[in-house]
Structure 1
Amino acid sequence: MEGAVPGKAGWVRVAYWPAESTEADALKTPIKQVEAGTDFTHQVALRDLRPDTRYRYRFEAGQPGNDTVAATAYGSFKTAPDAAASAKVTFTVANCQDYARRDDPANGHKIYPQMGALHPDFFIHTGDLEYYDKPSPLATTVALARFKWNRIFALPFQRAFHREISNYFMKDDHDTLKDDAWMGQVYGELTWDQGLALFREQVPIGEKPYRTIRWGKHVQIWLVEGREFRSPNDMPDGPEKSIWGAEQKKWFYETVKNSDATFRVLISPTPIEGPDRDTKGDNHSNKAFAHEGAELRQFIASQKNMVIVCGDRHWQYASVDPETGLREYSAGPSSDAHASGFSEADRSAPHRFLRIKGGFLSVTVEPSASGARAIFRHYDVDGKIQYEDVLTAP
C-alpha cells in the first residue's frame, strides 16, 4: 500500500551523551532484539540524566546474529530544568492529524518545520495522531493500525521534528479505536484492549497514561488520560459519571495542590471548558459530562495561575469561562484540510479568539522583573501568529 514502511527483525541499541561532550563519551543501552510481535519496536528508559541539558543520541541497528552496525540515525533531546531554576521554557502543542489530510503530500504536515523553527524545549501531541476509522485504509485490524502508525511517522517533516525534540504523546478516540470510543467497544476486528496496547507499543508514555512534569520554577504540566477510565458517553449524567475516573481525579487534585510552580497548565485531549457544539456528548464541556465538567472547572479556576490547553476540536480558539474566569486554549487541527465542525456563526461570549483553520499553539513562560509571564500564541500552518495572550504572575 502507498506509504508502507515494513519493519524487519534485528537488534537495536541507543548511544547517548551530553551535547557539550563528544560522541566518544557516549553511554550505550544494551542490545535488544526486535521482532514482528511488537511491530519491530523497542522502548528504553534513559535514567540519571542531567537537568537542563541537551543530549545527543545515536540509534544503531543490525541484523540478527551479526554484531555489525548496519544502520544509524542521529537526534537530540533536552531535559527539564530543576524545580528551583528560574528558566525560560517554550513548548508547542498540536493535535488531530492523519495521512490523507497532510498539507504537503511528499513531506507531511507543514506545522512540524514551523514548530521546529521556534526551537521548543518540548512538544506535546494531545491525541488523534492517526485516525483508525478514516479511509485509505480503515484500520479494522492490528496490522492495518500498525501500517498507519508507521506511514505517518515516516513522513519527512514528522521524522525530522521528532528526532530533535523532547516529545510527550497523549491519546484520544481515533488513535485508540474509533470516534468517541469507550471501554469494551470494537472496531471491525480491532478490540479495545488491542487499541490500548497498540498506543503503548508505538509511543512511549511511561507506567501510567496520566503524568505531571515539572519544567523549572515557573512551569508544571499535567497530561491527563481521557479514554481508559471513562464512563460510557450514553450513561445518565451525575456524580458517578466520569471521563477521568476516581483514581486519576484524586491524583490530579493532590498533585495540583502540592505544586508551587508559578504557572500550571492542564493539557487535556478534549475540551474542559469549550464552548463546543450542542450536538456533542464526549467531553467535559458537553451536557453529557456536565457534573464532572463543572467540578473540574471550579477546582482549576480556584488555583492560582492555572489554565487549560486542549486538543480534539478541529478549530483554534481561546476562551474565558464567564462563570469562573478560567482560560482554555485549543491548539486546532494540524492542517487546514482537517478544520471543520464549527463556524464564525457559532462564536459566543466566551470566545476571545476563534479561527476555523489548522495550525498549532506555542506556550512560552519566562522570568520577568515582577515574577514571570506566560505567552500563549496560536499559529497558522505556515508559522504566522494569529493570536497572542499574555498572562503575568507576581
Structure 2
Amino acid sequence: MYKIHLLLLLLTLSVPFNLFGQQASVKKPAAARIASNAAAKSINLQSGPMVGYSEMREVMLWVQTKKAARVQIRYHETGKQTPVHLTNEVQTNRQTVFTAHLLADLVEPGKKYEYDLLIEGQKVSLPYPTQFQTQNLWQWRTDPPAFRFAVGSCTYVNEPDVDRPGKPYGGGYEIFSAMTAQKPDFMIWTGDNTYTREVDWNTRSGVLRRYTHTRSLPEMQPLLASTHNYATWDDHDFGPNDADRSYWLKPVTLEAFKLFWTNPNYVFSEGCAGTFFWNDCQFFLLDDRTFRAPNDMPDGPAKDYFGEKQMQWLLDALTFSHATFKFIVTGGQIVNPTKAFENYSTYGTERDRLFKAISESKIPGILFITGDRHHSILHKLDRSGTYPLYDLTVSPLTSSVAQPRADELKQPTYVDGTLVTERNFGLLSVSGPSNDRVLNIKVLDQKGTERWSRDLRASELK
C-alpha cells in the first residue's frame, strides 16, 4: 500500500492539477524551463559537433542540425573557467542541409580548450568530451613536439532500404570507439568516407542525404567531437564506383564535401586538393578523381590521374617544403606495381613522371598514405641512388574486407607481415629530437588490438 501511495504522490507532483482535477497551467520553475529548452535543442542536433582543422590562431568546428536553428560554440582554455569566448553564430538553413562552420579565433598557440555547443543559445549536453587544441609555436624555440594521428578509409554505413540485397556491406562500427580511445591529435580520412548509392548519384538531394546519413552514425560522434579531422575523397564520396572526371554531378559532390569537411584550404576552385601542417610535418591531400581520365583509356601522356595542374602544384609544393616527413595522402595505391583495379600503376606514364621528378629534385622525406583496397598493407619501392618510397594502405574502416590478388603479394615492393584483412585503422606517431625524428606506424583492428608496428627514421628518407 505504501508503494502505491508513493507512486500516486510522484505522479501528482510530476503533473500539476487545479482544484477541479484539471491539469493546471502553472508556470514551470526557471530551472525546469531551462532544462526543458536544452533538451529540445539536443533533439535538434543531427550530427557533430566535429572539430576541424587546427592552427596556432584559429580552429574550425562544425555541426549539423535537423532544422533551422542558431548555432554557436562557447569555449575556454582547459583548467581555466575564464575568459570564455564565443565563435561566430550561424543560422543553419535548408540550402546548406543545416550545416554550419564555426570559427574559434580567440585562441593562443599550444593550448587545449573545452567547448560547449549552443543551439538557440542553450547548451547541448553531450555524454562525451568536447575539446580541441591549437598547434604549438615551437619553431626557433624547441624541438618539434611529438604527436600522433589516426588514418582510415572506406566508411560504409548500412541503410537496408537502399542497399543491395544480401549480407550487409557495412559493420563493425565500434571501430570508432577504439579510435577515440587512442586519443589521436587528429584523424585523416583518406577517401570513401561515405558511399553514395544508386539513389544518390543523380541529384543534389541524394548526395546531401547520403553525406548526412553517414555523418550521423552514433558511434562516430565522440571521435568527431574531440579529434581534429582532415579529409580527401575517393570514388564513392566523389560519385559512382570508379568514377572519373566525366562524372556529371561532380560540382555537387564537391559542394557536399566542402559542407561536411573543414579542411583549411583548397588550392583549386575545382576538386578537394589541399595541404596542412602539423608541427614539423606537412600533409598533401590529393584529389585522385576530379582530373582523372577513364581507367580503360590506353596509357600515355594524355591519361591523367592527378592531372597536369595538380601534378605541377604538388611538385612545386614538395620542392618548397622543409617538412621532416612529407605525407602524400590520396585514395588509390601509388607504389604497388600491380596493374590491377585502380592502382596508380595503370596510369604508368604519369606515375613514372612523378617518381622521376621526386628523384631528380632530390626531395627528402616523402611517404604515401592511401586507402581504397579494403585491406591494409605496406609497400616499399627501392630506388637506385636514393631512398625508398613507402606506401601505407589503410582500409577498410567499416566496409567489407577484400583480399589482395595473389600476384600482389609476390611483388618485390610488398613488406612481409604487413597485410591485414579485417576492419582496421592506422595510428602513426612522430617523435624524437629535430635531428632524429622517428615515425612509428601501427595498424590496429576494430577493437583496438595492434596487428603490426614499424619504425621509420627520417634519416632513412634522405
TM-score normalised by the chain length of structure 2: 0.73
Give the distance between the partners of 1:30 and 1:364, measured in 2 at CA. Answer: 34
Gaps of 5+ in 1: 63-67
The one-letter code matched in structure 2 to 1:94 is G
Post-superposition offset of 1:220:
2.0
Give the distance between the partners of 1:344 and 1:361, measured in 2 at CA. Answer: 23
- Could you say which residue in structure 2 is the equivalent of 1:367? 432
Give the distance between the partners of 1:231 and 1:47, measured in 2 at CA. Answer: 41
The 5 Å alignment of 1:28-177 reads 28-47=86-105, 49-62=107-120, 68-69=121-122, 71=124, 75-82=130-137, 84=139, 85-100=143-158, 101-104=169-172, 109-133=173-197, 140-177=202-239
From 220, 227, 234, give the equivalent of 2:282: 220
- Could you say which residue in structure 1 is the equivalent of 2:273? 210
Q: Answer yes or no: is 1:297 the counterpart of 2:361.
A: no
Contact map agreement 1:375 1:388 (CA 8 A) in 2: yes
- Could you say which residue in structure 2 is the equivalent of 1:15? 74
Contact map agreement 2:211 2:256 (CA 8 A) in 1: no
RMSD: 2.6
Which entry has the higher C-alpha Rg, 1 or 2? 2
Post-superposition offset of 1:25:
1.9
For the residue of structure 1 that corresponds to 2:221, the secondary structure is helix
For the residue of structure 1 that corresponds to 2:351, the secondary structure is helix
Cα distance change on mapping 1:82 and 1:245 into 2, 3 Å: farther
Give the distance between the partners of 1:258 and 1:345, measured in 2 at CA. Answer: 38
The one-letter code matched in structure 2 to 1:200 is K
Aligned residue pairs: how many? 369
Structure with the higher fraction of residues in helix conformation: 2
Percentage of identical aligned residues = 23
Give the distance between the partners of 1:174 and 1:123, measured in 2 at CA. Answer: 19
The one-letter code matched in structure 2 to 1:330 is T
For the residue of structure 1 that corresponds to 2:432, the secondary structure is strand
Post-superposition offset of 1:72:
5.6
Give the distance between the partners of 1:205 and 1:86, measured in 2 at CA. Answer: 23
The one-letter code matched in structure 2 to 1:38 is T
Give the distance between the partners of 2:213 and 2:175, measured in 1 at CA. Answer: 18
Structure 1 runs (4+) greater than 6 angstroms displaced: none
For the residue of structure 2 that corresponds to 1:149, the secondary structure is helix
**Residues 23-71 of structure 1: per-residue CA shift (max 9 Å, x gap):** x422212322111111011123434643332222222112xxxxx5374
Q: Answer yes or no: is 1:256 the counterpart of 2:308.
A: no
TM-score normalised by the chain length of structure 1: 0.85
Cα distance change on mapping 1:244 and 1:47 into 2, 3 Å: farther
Give the distance between the partners of 1:82 and 1:231, measured in 2 at CA. Answer: 42
Give the distance between the partners of 2:107 and 2:434, measured in 1 at CA. Answer: 31
Give the distance between the partners of 1:155 and 1:176, measured in 2 at CA. Answer: 20
Give the distance between the partners of 2:145 and 2:123, measured in 1 at CA. Answer: 40
Give the distance between the partners of 2:109 and 2:337, measured in 1 at CA. Answer: 39
The one-letter code matched in structure 1 to 2:295 is N
From 329, 335, 338, give the equivalent of 1:273: 335
Gaps of 5+ in 2: 1-45, 48-64, 159-168, 267-271
Post-superposition offset of 1:155:
1.9
